[in-house]
Structure 1
Amino acid sequence: MSTAILETGEGAAVVATPQKKMNVMQLTFIVTVNMMGSGIIMLPANMAQVGAISLLSWLVTAIGSLAIAYGFAQAGIFNQRTGGLAAYAEDAYGKDGYFQVFFLYFISLAIANVAVASSALGYLAAFFPGLTATPVATCIGVIALLWITTAANFGGPSLTGKIGSVTVWGVILPVGFIATIGWFWFSADTFAAAWNPKGISIAEGMGSSISLTLWAFLGMESASQNASAVENPKRDVPLACLFGTLGAAVVYILSTTAIQGIVPNAELAESTGPFGLAYAKMFSPMVGQIVMALAAMACVGSLLGWQFTLASTAKDAADTRMFPPIFGKASAAGAPIAGMVIMGIVQSVLALSTVSPDLSKQFAALVNLAVVTNVVPYIISLSALFVMMRNAKVDPGIFKRNAFVAVVALLYSVYALFASGKDAVMGGMLVMGIGYIVYGLIAPRFVAPVVEPRAA
């Protein structure tokens, strides 16, 4: 069996080398672990800035994410070509759709890396307060982390996957523990006081943190990328997508709700390490420090893996003539160093452009932009499902069922764009505009010239 590399959204890349076909339970576990990366680690603090009413966003996102995950699972059954989301889009929109989905998804990874770096810095600040003492210090710290993890990959991918598969547990264990055991420290009075400090409406509360909660689910499509390693992909891939997403949703909702009843809202909103703060309240400052260290380790390990993934994605694009050849150059150890340096510069510019006096606000701005540049590819690729089903001549009952779920997923995706805010949407549209400029320059490579008919 060939090695399967599973994407984890904003988490670390988990590498699995199965000796035999996976069953549905094994794939479900992998999908859940893939999503539960570093994306959850700053969310309680960001959501506390609105109040506990923002937890309603989890319910909306859980339903939308389940629909999206199911849609990708079905698309993966009808289209098993390499390329994932981009290959799905190509079925309906041709090579330009393939490129736009690929380009936006690629840029979203770069933005997500900066967000993960800011998460790591927030937890490292518990040990080195000077890292977040001023906006300039924060920006320098984020950029330094980006370049340290970039340079650490120059030696090749041999250790990257192993490190990521270990460090991701630095998030999973504390989050899973607080979701189950944290309720023994839950205070109904603390939660009630945190419910709606700003007096917003239910509708505003449901939409207040849509982009933040969706951020934690990015990577839900990983089961469809692993269909070849499953015993019965037509049955197991959709089930794993749904159960894996549902499992992550339960853990997310329970953990963030429990924290709102453990830590007073004002303290939580100001925290740069919300899970560490919660454990300090539950046990002792020493335990809180240990959790902070585990979370920082997980974020740095995640960032290490995703820096290599980003450069490798650019290399693959260069190999297919979609990116400049410089991205395709690799060292003897297999590291695309030139591409890493270029993307390090791009990410440094992103860090500078989103610098904020408040680390949580910088994180939120980055997450909103990452979600927009991720959700647009979701919309494009999911809308291609109708063409895939028509070409596959599926049973009318299956077509109607899949079409209904796809429409739910698409409507939620559009709502997620709206909830991300005008600044993030404008940024996403600018990125899309740049993508069309780039594709316009390379389109002649993929479009056959029009041959005029000869005159009689």
Structure 2
Amino acid sequence: MTVPSPAEAAEPVEPAPAPPPRRTFGLAAATALVMGNIIGGGIFALPATVAPYGTVSLLAFVVLSVGAVALALLFGSLARRSPVTGGLYVYPRDAFGEFAGFLSAWSYWTMCWVSIAALAVAVVGYVDVLIPLHGNHVLQAVVAMAALWLPAAANFAGTRWVGTVQVVSTVLKFVPLLLLATIGLFFVDTDNFGPFNASGQSVSGALAASAALLLYSFLGVESAAVSAGEVRDPERTVARASVLGTLASALVYILGTVAVFGLVPHSRLVDSGAPFADAVNALTGSSWGGTAVALVAVVSITGCLNGWILMAAQMPYAAARDGLFPAPFARVGKGGVPGFGVWACAVLGTLLIALNYTAGPDTTFRVLVLITTFTGCVPYLLSAAAQLYWLARGTRDRVRPAGLVRDLSVAVLSFGFSFWLIAGAGYAAVYQGVLFLFAGIPVYVWLRGRKDKAEATDKAEAAA
């Protein structure tokens, strides 16, 4: 057998042929998937989180929104080239080879199932407002597991159900948030905003510090690209859904934060545990804001879980088709969803939830959640690098000459934004995240070795 030279081994690989996709997501469902995955439960605490920095944090939101839109455009452009399920795994694989694709898939997959567990745990606090759980850890664990397995059941039912649930849940959470963000603007008191820079440091320092807290508000912008194989007319729809979903989410984030800043006095907002509830109470003059916000938050997080479970199944599905993830991940059920992938993320998430309610405060669960701030951004960086590779290579059938300047600008901005996201995660997250990422290398070595052995056997049998 001829051993390939290093140069040949580094050549980009061509995508493996995909099975006929089930195109069940139209523009509305794909946009809802993006919005639903971006807007989770964190939005309900964001205004209080950044209030100590002053209204400079609104400027940080604008900067982040620009970066997120650049990523949306990047994924839309890459989806035109490879309109298949797996997105952020497929792009690095095509450009740099299977190892880069595996690292991207491994990183994204670990981020997904750990984030799913964290989101399910976040539901408990809002359910406790509606139905007091009295600090009972058993009841809290049951609620968290129910919040995880109900969206998982929708995924088992198929992509059509996932799209329906995503549209309904997105409307149910988007409408009330947008109503507060718009109606609330008419009752804003400018005296409530407080100083532009309340941090005591330079404006640039306050901008960077507040941005660091908001960096991951836009995770999920890639959702339509990851599910491109289930999207109708993905060459056009993925880009449109990514941009529309990102812009709509940014609109809710920015207007909602402005409304809360203007309705709740700054001195009170800094210490608020439920800023949106305080804003609703200030707007209505009553005390039912907490209940209303809790209901919207439960719907918001449930819809977010519905979309993220689908993402957690589809990324390893694409890698498994290439022999770079265990074979069961490549199995697709009647509804078009990789059922084993759903089971895997649900079971792993359940184990983390159990760990969260049985271990002490400094648990492995908390460490893993910190790591996701790094692992979620690695596929962004690799995808931006893949686009830069195709542009530098100048392959005419892959990059349209007329759009070269635009594509190059988007790719450079996306790469810089992704790099900034990783840097903003902090030393601990980057250090632990790199270790967790490299822990996947033995998995790659084993699977790649088995794949090459099988291919060699097939060739030998064919030659005989």
Asked if 2 retains the 8 angstrom alpha-carbon contact of 1:113 and 1:306, the reply is yes
1:233 Cα offset (Å) = 3.8
1:191 Cα offset (Å) = 0.7
Distance 1:56 1:214, change over 3 A: same
The separation in 1 between residues aligned to 2:60 and 2:211, in whole angstroms, is: 5
1:181 Cα offset (Å) = 1.0
1:380 Cα offset (Å) = 0.5
Which residue identity lines up with residue 157 of structure 1 in the other structure?
A: A
Q: Which stretch shows the higher mean deviation, 377-386 or 324-333?
A: 324-333
Asked if 2 retains the 8 angstrom alpha-carbon contact of 1:92 and 1:384, the reply is yes
Asked if 2 retains the 8 angstrom alpha-carbon contact of 1:174 and 1:275, the reply is no
1:344 Cα offset (Å) = 2.6
Asked if 2 retains the 8 angstrom alpha-carbon contact of 1:186 and 1:261, the reply is yes
Which residue identity lines up with residue 115 of structure 1 in the other structure?
A: A
Asked if 1 retains the 8 angstrom alpha-carbon contact of 2:29 and 2:164, the reply is no
The match for 1:398 is: 403
The match for 1:256 is: 257
The match for 2:51 is: 48
Asked if 1 retains the 8 angstrom alpha-carbon contact of 2:112 and 2:312, the reply is yes
Q: Does 1:422 align with 2:400?
A: no
1:110 to 113, 121, 135: 113
1:313 Cα offset (Å) = 5.1
Give CA-to-partner distance per residue, 1:67-98, whole Å, 9 cap, x none.
21111111112223432111111122211111
Give CA-to-partner distance per residue, 1:213-238, whole Å, 9 cap, x none.
3433222234545498566946x654
Which residue identity lines up with residue 382 of structure 1 in the other structure?
A: A
Which residue identity lines up with residue 372 of structure 1 in the other structure?
A: F
Give CA-to-partner distance per residue, 1:98-137, whole Å, 9 cap, x none.
1111111111112322332343233223235556x6xxx6
| SS of structure 2 residue aligned to 1:391 | coil
The separation in 2 between residues aligned to 1:172 and 1:403, in whole angstroms, is: 33
Asked if 2 retains the 8 angstrom alpha-carbon contact of 1:175 and 1:255, the reply is yes
Which residue identity lines up with residue 263 of structure 1 in the other structure?
A: V
Which residue identity lines up with residue 415 of structure 2 in the other structure?
A: L
1:264 Cα offset (Å) = 3.1
The match for 1:441 is: 446
Q: Which stretch shows the higher mean deviation, 274-283 or 298-307?
A: 298-307
Which residue identity lines up with residue 420 of structure 2 in the other structure?
A: Y
The match for 1:100 is: 103
Give CA-to-partner distance per residue, 1:314-358, whole Å, 9 cap, x none.
56655654344566789999854852554135533784799769x
The separation in 1 between residues aligned to 2:235 and 2:345, in whole angstroms, is: 35
Q: Which stretch shows the higher mean deviation, 386-395 or 84-93?
A: 386-395
The match for 2:67 is: 64
Asked if 2 retains the 8 angstrom alpha-carbon contact of 1:73 and 1:237, the reply is yes
Asked if 2 retains the 8 angstrom alpha-carbon contact of 1:89 and 1:97, the reply is yes
| SS of structure 1 residue aligned to 2:194 | helix
The separation in 1 between residues aligned to 2:84 and 2:253, in whole angstroms, is: 32
Give CA-to-partner distance per residue, 1:343-387, whole Å, 9 cap, x none.
135533784799769xxxx99x88764342121110101111133
Unaligned 5+ segments in structure 2 are 1-19, 460-464
The separation in 1 between residues aligned to 2:210 and 2:359, in whole angstroms, is: 19
Q: Which stretch shows the higher mean deviation, 84-93 or 207-216?
A: 207-216
Give the count of matched residue pairs. Answer: 423
Q: Does 1:373 align with 2:375?
A: yes
1:149 to 143, 147, 150: 147
Asked if 2 retains the 8 angstrom alpha-carbon contact of 1:186 and 1:262, the reply is yes
1:278 Cα offset (Å) = 1.7
Unaligned 5+ segments in structure 1 are 6-15, 452-456
The match for 1:90 is: 93
Query: TM-score scaled by structure 1?
Result: 0.77
Q: Which stretch shows the higher mean deviation, 144-153 or 376-385?
A: 144-153
Give CA-to-partner distance per residue, 1:406-451, whole Å, 9 cap, x none.
1111111111111221222223212211122321222213446799
Asked if 2 retains the 8 angstrom alpha-carbon contact of 1:315 and 1:339, the reply is no
Distance 1:54 1:423, change over 3 A: farther
The match for 1:175 is: 177
Distance 1:369 1:258, change over 3 A: farther
Query: TM-score scaled by structure 2?
Result: 0.76
Asked if 1 retains the 8 angstrom alpha-carbon contact of 2:281 and 2:288, the reply is yes
Distance 1:421 1:340, change over 3 A: closer
Which residue identity lines up with residue 287 of structure 2 in the other structure?
A: P
Q: Does 1:124 align with 2:122?
A: no
1:304 Cα offset (Å) = 4.9
Which residue identity lines up with residue 405 of structure 1 in the other structure?
A: V
The separation in 2 between residues aligned to 1:300 and 1:82, in whole angstroms, is: 23
Asked if 2 retains the 8 angstrom alpha-carbon contact of 1:146 and 1:344, the reply is no
| SS of structure 2 residue aligned to 1:200 | coil
The match for 1:13 is: none
Give CA-to-partner distance per residue, 1:224-267, whole Å, 9 cap, x none.
45498566946x65455445433332331111122112123454
The separation in 1 between residues aligned to 2:162 and 2:326, in whole angstroms, is: 25
Asked if 1 retains the 8 angstrom alpha-carbon contact of 2:223 and 2:311, the reply is no
Q: Does 1:245 align with 2:224?
A: no
The separation in 2 between residues aligned to 1:178 and 1:54, in whole angstroms, is: 19
Asked if 2 retains the 8 angstrom alpha-carbon contact of 1:160 and 1:305, the reply is yes
| SS of structure 2 residue aligned to 1:198 | coil
1:281 Cα offset (Å) = 1.9
The match for 2:297 is: 295
Asked if 1 retains the 8 angstrom alpha-carbon contact of 2:192 and 2:264, the reply is yes
Asked if 2 retains the 8 angstrom alpha-carbon contact of 1:104 and 1:377, the reply is yes
Give CA-to-partner distance per residue, 1:26-64, whole Å, 9 cap, x none.
976775566444452332232235444322221221121
Please show how residues 268-307 of structure 1 align to structure 2 within 5 Å: 268-283=269-284, 284-304=286-306, 306-307=308-309
The separation in 1 between residues aligned to 2:358 and 2:431, in whole angstroms, is: 14
Distance 1:318 1:409, change over 3 A: closer
The separation in 2 between residues aligned to 1:29 and 1:330, in whole angstroms, is: 23
Paired-residue identity, %: 27
Q: Does 1:410 align with 2:415?
A: yes
The match for 2:14 is: none
Please show how residues 344-359 of structure 1 align to structure 2 within 5 Å: 344-345=349-350, 347-348=352-353, 351=356
